[in-house]
Amino acid sequence: MCGFVGFADTSTTVDKVTTVNNMMDTIIHRGPDSGGVFTDDRVAFGFRRLSIIDLSDEASQPMYNEDNSVVLIFNGEIYNFEEIRKDLVAKGHQFRSHTDSEVILHGYEEYGVDLLQKVRGMFAFSIWDQKKQEMFLARDFFGIKPLYYTQNTTDGSFIFGSEIKAFLKHPSFKKELNKDALKPYLTFQYSVLDETFFKGVFKLKPGHYMIYKDGKADIKSYWDVNFDENQDSLEHYVEKIKTTVEESVKYHKISDVKVGSFLSGGIDSSYITSLLKPNKTFSVGFRTMRESSTKRILPKIYRIFLELKIINRLLMRMNALRSCQRSNTIWMNRNPTHPLFRYIS
């Protein structure tokens, strides 16, 4: 998990370096390993890094192309970056690192917006093209990685980032409650609107990208789910699911740090763990519940270290709230999301 912040304006009253650093400080939990800043007379980019692929300084962000005219900040992972990199190298692009981030940078130079038809992964990124004087922002197909933006500012500034709390540190941001977001949240227990609890702050939709230029944002879709029906045999679909899951797990293993797996003892996590064969597995259990033998058997079969934590106390409502307050859980959480993506972005 990494995180980024940024804004675009022509104001001479806002200290870009100080402001973007203050914004970065609010998301340091997303990237405790390092941070970086880029500013010019139009934009400010800030990035917090959690190192996963290529742990060297060459993989730090913001990241630049060969002549420093294109600047990237990126949160996520591109699973097929090695295949795309080979094509870009063959076309003459020079790489400074071995990270997947740089593939997006040179991919933008080579393919433009069509890069989004080639990448496979979970991502949110922003690219500032100094020659075109335009910004290119995009979010992954399912919206796993967060990307918020607003122009609800006193001076027309465009602000964006991984978490809304960073916007609070920008002096031009209008802090207004969006009352229309309350009813959907109480109904569904997560935010179903594109607009968040902050008035004028929006989520970039999954499978969409934005071109920001001259104070205007143009948003377009680059992908949507295809529900076309195809009739085939049960054996065909069993094999298709098997190969798809195996391929997905293989791509997720690419890392320069140790890989772990959450093991609940159910079918899904057990199957993924058996394919992944991670360095460690992690489980949380309750002593009053019947422990699954799968949690203990699987690690022994594949010789994986199992970190098992047993909870043996009753957590009352107020105690739970106090625990959240002490651990900054409420502060760390961003706009309420669908439970499917709450813990993986």
Domains of the chain: 3-221 (3.60.20.10), 234-313 (3.40.50)
Q: Is the pTM of this model over 0.85?
A: no
Query: Which residues have CB under 8 Å from 327's CB, separation 6+?
Result: none
Query: Which residues have CB under 8 Å from 11's CB, separation 6+?
Result: 155, 157, 172
pLDDT value of residue 71: 97
d(CA 50, CA 1): 6
Question: Which positions are catalytic?
Answer: 2
d(CA 126, CA 55): 21
- Looking up tokens 């159910």, which residue turns up? 266
The answer to whether residue 112 scores a pLDDT higher than 80 is yes
Query: Which residues have CB under 8 Å from 300's CB, separation 6+?
Result: none
The answer to whether residue 70 scores a pLDDT higher than 60 is yes
CB 212 within 8 A of CB 126: no
pLDDT in tens, 23-61: 999 999 888 787 899 999 999 999 997 766 656 667 688
Confidence grade of residue 322 (pLDDT, cut at 50, 70, 90): low
CB 107 within 8 A of CB 88: yes
- Average pLDDT score over residue span 282-289: 62
- Average pLDDT score over residue span 272-283: 80
Q: Indicate the average pLDDT of the chain.
A: 83
d(CA 7, CA 301): 51
Q: Cα–chain-centroid distance for residue 56?
A: 21
pLDDT in tens, 181-223: 988 888 988 888 899 999 999 999 999 999 999 999 999 999 9
Instruction: Looking at mean pLDDT, say which of 162-176, 216-230, 245-259, 295-309 comes out highest.
Output: 162-176
Confidence grade of residue 288 (pLDDT, cut at 50, 70, 90): low
More confident residue, 242 or 290: 242
